[in-house]
Amino acid sequence: MPTSAPNPGEHVKAVRFTDENLTVDLHDGRTILVPLAWYPRLLRASPSHRANWQIAGGGFGIHWPEVEEDLSTEGLLRGARSPQASHLMRSIKPWRQ
């Protein structure tokens, strides 16, 4: 599937968390909000490990060294989930109903 070249406005500006969500602010003013359950490593990480993120991939990625997780703005904008997320979502679904 062809993809377009990344837009410089899609550079990561800030990253923050709630108990349930990952929020990424981009330099072009957009904000990406995704369920933390989509990224099980981040979901299980301590707040201090989540807070220790670095901009990677020329500004288009985020790296958490202690969690060994890497996300790209392209993937976040496409709604890409971790492969482990489907299993996790099925296992917690009964508890959320």
CATH of the domain at 12: 3.30.2020.40
Q: Over pLDDT 70: what percentage of the chain?
A: 80
- Helix segments in the chain, DSSP class H: 40-44, 47-51, 73-78, 85-96
Q: Report the number of distinct structural domains present in the chain.
A: 1
- Do the domain assignments include residue 67? yes
Instruction: Say which residues have a Cβ less than 8 Å from residue 40's Cβ, sequence separation at least 6.
Output: 82, 84, 85, 88
Q: What pLDDT digit, counting tens, does each position of 45-81 carry? A: 999 999 999 999 999 999 999 999 999 999 999 999 8
pLDDT at 8: 75
Residue 43 lies in domain: 8-96
Q: What is the pTM of this model?
A: 0.80
- Do the domain assignments include residue 3? no
| Mean pLDDT, rounded, of the chain | 86
Q: What is residue 21's three-state secondary structure?
A: strand
